[in-house]
């Protein structure tokens, strides 16, 4: 069974149609990259999957592990294993990163009918994960994303991903605002999470990220539709030729 099956998906924001019939199937273990010009609807696609308020699905279906995903609340989608790594992670003053992680993890465990982790179990787990990502304990004590650099914020997203162990990770322009060193660290973190059960939808404007996180498939999104699909070599082709032919075709 496919992990997620998107059929003829149409979606609007403020009454304006952004997605105009998306078809996409992701099997377990696959990494798909969505590329395309600005304003093509790339981020809209990830937001619709995650269930962000304000994104209205007008037509089509999204089936996730055999369930009607669109019928689920955003928090249920999260607990069912859909993780959105935000382009702009949100600051929550006064809430220590570790408190946030623990609350999120326990919400997932509760949803699955498992008991909450106690402080010791949680600490052991979080230590393990932070060590792998090179995140210091001092960062965990700081309020979530408050005063974090761009790289720290994105690394924190990867940390959350590794704690919550999603089935489907949506990376929304994870490379934006990162220098090359930070990009490598984040990509390594993501690559460490790749497994035969876990799938990725990588949204990016540039080919650069795909040098480090190598996708199985690349799709070009233009004017709310998938204009072309191919293997990883398609990304290189786009890098040299740009999106002109797609924006031109749309015009």
Partner 1 sequence: MAAELSTVDQVQAVADDKYKYGFVTDIESDLAPKGLNEDIIRFISAKKGEPEWMLAWRLSAYRMWLTLEEPHHWARLDYPPIDYQDSHYYAAPKRKEDGPKSLDEVDPQILETYKKLGIPIQEQAMLAGVVAVDAVFDSVSVATTYKAKLEEMGVIFCPISEAVKKHPDLVRKYLGSVVPYSDNFFATLNSAVFTDGSFVYVPKGLRCPMELSTYFRINEKSTGQFERTLIIADEGSYVSYLEGCTAPQRDENQLHAAVVELIALDDAEIKYSTVQNWYPGDAEGKGGIYNFVTKRGACRGRNSKISWTQVETGSAITWKYPSCILQGDNSQGEFYSVAITNNRQQADTGTKMIHIGRNTRSRIVSKGISAGRANSTYRGLVRIMPKAEGARNFTQCDSLLIGDRCGAHTVPYIESRNPTAKVEHEATTSKISDEQLFYCKQRGLSDEEAVSLIVNGFCKEVLQTLPMEFAVEAQKLVAISLEGSVG
Q: Build a one-symbol-per-residue string for 34-63: x at contacts with partner 1 by CB under 8 A, - elsewhere.
A: ----------------xxxxx---------
Can you state the angle between helices 119-133 and 97-111, rounded to 10 degrees?
110
The smaller minimum CB distance to partner 1, of residues 2 and 92, is found at: 92
Among 3, 35, 158, 164, binds partner 1 (CB under 8 A): 164
Strand pairing of 168-172 and 199-203? Answer: parallel
The smaller minimum CB distance to partner 1, of residues 76 and 214, is found at: 76
The smaller minimum CB distance to partner 1, of residues 13 and 107, is found at: 107
User: What's CA 77's distance to the chain center, in Å?
Assistant: 13
Stretch that binds partner 1, among 33-41, 77-85, 120-128, 199-207 (CB under 8 A): 77-85
Helix (H, G, I), strand (E, B) or coil at 237: helix
- Considering the complex, what minimum distance in angstroms separates the CB of residue 131 from partner 1? 22
In whole angstroms, what is the distance from residue 178 CA to residue 191 CA? 17
In whole angstroms, what is the distance from residue 102 CA to residue 119 CA? 9
Phi-psi sector, 94: left (phi>0), alpha (psi -120 to 50), beta = left
Does residue 13 touch partner 1 according to CB under 8 A?
no
Q: Build a one-symbol-per-residue string for 110-139: x at contacts with partner 1 by CB under 8 A, - elsewhere.
A: -x----------------------------
Strand pairing of 16-26 and 31-35? Answer: unpaired
List residues near partner 1 by CB under 8 A.
50-54, 73-75, 78-79, 83-84, 86, 89-90, 92-95, 99-100, 103-104, 107-108, 111, 143, 160, 164
């Amino acid at each position: 069974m496919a992990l997620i099956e998107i059929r003829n998906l149409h979606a609007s924001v403020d009454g304006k149609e952004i997605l105009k019939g998306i078809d996409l199937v992701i099997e377990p273990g696959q990494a798909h990259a969505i590329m395309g010009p600005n304003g093509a609807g790339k981020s809209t696609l990830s937001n619709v999957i995650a269930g962000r308020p304000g994104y209205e699905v007008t037509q089509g279906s999204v089936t996730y592990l055999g369930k009607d995903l669109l019928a689920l609340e955003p928090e249920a989608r999260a607990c069912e294993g859909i993780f959105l790594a935000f382009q702009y992670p949100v600051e929550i003053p006064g809430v220590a990163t570790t408190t946030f992680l623990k609350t999120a993890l326990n919400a997932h465990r509760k949803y699955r009918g498992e008991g909450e982790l106690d402080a010791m179990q949680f600490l052991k787990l979080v230590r393990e994960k932070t060590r792998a990502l090179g995140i210091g304990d001092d960062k965990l004590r700081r309020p979530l994303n408050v005063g974090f650099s761009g790289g720290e914020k994105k690394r924190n997203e990867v940390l959350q991903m590794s704690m919550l162990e999603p089935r489907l990770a949506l990376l929304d322009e994870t490379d934006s605002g990162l220098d090359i060193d930070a990009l490598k660290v984040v990509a390594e973190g993501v690559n460490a999470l790749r497994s035969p059960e876990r799938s990725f939808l990588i949204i990016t404007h540039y080919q650069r990220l795909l040098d480090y996180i190598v996708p199985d498939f690349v799709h070009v999104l233009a004017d709310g539709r998938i204009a072309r699909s191919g293997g990883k070599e398609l990304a290189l082709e786009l890098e040299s030729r740009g999106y002109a032919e797609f924006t031109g075709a749309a015009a």
